[in-house]
Structure 1
Amino acid sequence: MNRSKAINFMVKCAMLAAIAVVLMQFEIPVIPAFPFLKLDFSDVPALLGGFALGPIAGVVIEAFKVFLDMIVSGTVTAGVGEVANFLIGASFVYPAALIYHKRKSFSFALISMLIATASMVIFGVLANYFILAPLYGMAPEAIPAYIVGGALPINLIKGAAISLVTLVSYKKLSPIIKKENIMIRKKVA
């Protein structure tokens, strides 16, 4: 990748990450028993970027998003929530973009997001059981109920919501994201 294309790629990723950070500020509590599990649409820009620019771009956008959000909002979880957000977001965005890049069609987009939702649910359950819930200090006997009543349903809901918004918006937004050079250049006479 030449220097101009690399800069263009990073600018697009940074712009999509900035949009994602704004979307992170609008969280919707979904499961009353676990009010800290909230739905937001910050993975949509990462998925749009992953579909348009490739799976690595989606993961880069997820990483930028989490980093920028920590700068803007700080952390109340000593970084555990931010690590969870990145890992679970990337477990959705990467497989969806990877599958979609094999064959770019509406049906493959649908299939990729169904598989990605399953990936996010499975990864979310495993990550919460073995890493995240223990890091939060959750009692071992409370973890299975949290996973069944919280982590599993929130990831299913989030996967479906992100997929729906992406399906509705990708066709209209992809030409802007894919545009060869989004930077304005002045011609010197």
Structure 2
Amino acid sequence: MKKTTTKIATIGIMSALATGLMFLEFPIFPAVGFLKYDPSDVLAILAGFIFGPVDGVIILLIKNLLFYLLKSGDIVGIAMNFAAGVSYLLPTVLIYRWRKNRVVEIIGYIVGVIVVSGVMVLLNMIVVPKYWKISFEETLKFLPWIAGFNAIKFSIDSLINGLIRKRIEKIFES
């Protein structure tokens, strides 16, 4: 019972912190200012490593819903943010859980970055023409920026998680 209560409380706290971190956003590429980096996915990834992928996805869901209600009001942007987080988190965490060591962890990060970059290019090919009401040809101009943005964003998240995960994990081992 104590472990379950602690886990639920921790997921709630991580969700709240992740929501707050979503407000710390800045563009990576000034040419496409709508693509903004925020460090909020680090907490979901961390939870995925510590508790499991479902808990990481729950944090992604909660932080996106809260951010939607508190600031954005942009359901498409929030859905895309959630899709990006899930498409990175799942392969990264599942690969790490397969064999828990540093080399496999790094492989997980690399696979996660590749998967999220590909998934977001494909989703943007579908969503952007309808959402922004622009031609598919015009959308194609954004795809290198979108792939680059996701590769950089989730590489930064990987680096942060790789640096802090072991220290945070130790807190939950006792």
Q: Does the alignment reach a TM-score above 0.5?
A: yes
Distance 2:153 2:65 in 1: 21
1:47 is matched with 45
**Who wins on radius of gyration, i.e. which is larger?**
1
2:24 is matched with 26
Task: Please state whether the residue corresponding to 1:104 is helix, strand or coil.
Answer: coil
Deviation at 1:5, TM superposition (A): 4.7
| TM-score, normalised by the number of residues in structure 1 | 0.85
Give the count of matched residue pairs: 174
Distance 1:48 1:93 in 2: 9
One-letter amino acid of the structure 1 residue matched with residue 151 of structure 2: L
Give the share of equivalent positions with the same residue, in percent.
29
One-letter amino acid of the structure 1 residue matched with residue 115 of structure 2: S
2:164 paired residue among 165, 169, 172:
169
Instruction: List structure 1 segments (4+ residues) > 6 angstroms apart after TM superposition.
Output: none
| TM-score, normalised by the number of residues in structure 2 | 0.92
Distance 2:128 2:92 in 1: 23
1:131 is matched with 127
Task: Map 1:61-80 onto structure 2 (within 5 A).
Answer: 61-75=59-73, 77=74, 79-80=75-76
The 10-residue stretch of structure 1 (6-15 or 110-119) with the greater mean CA deviation from structure 2: 6-15
1:27–1:74: structure 2 CA closer, same or farther, 3 Å change rule?
Answer: closer
1:111 paired residue among 82, 107, 110:
107
1:85 correspondence with 2:76: no
One-letter amino acid of the structure 2 residue matched with residue 16 of structure 1: M
* Greater percentage in helix: 2
Deviation at 1:20, TM superposition (A): 0.9
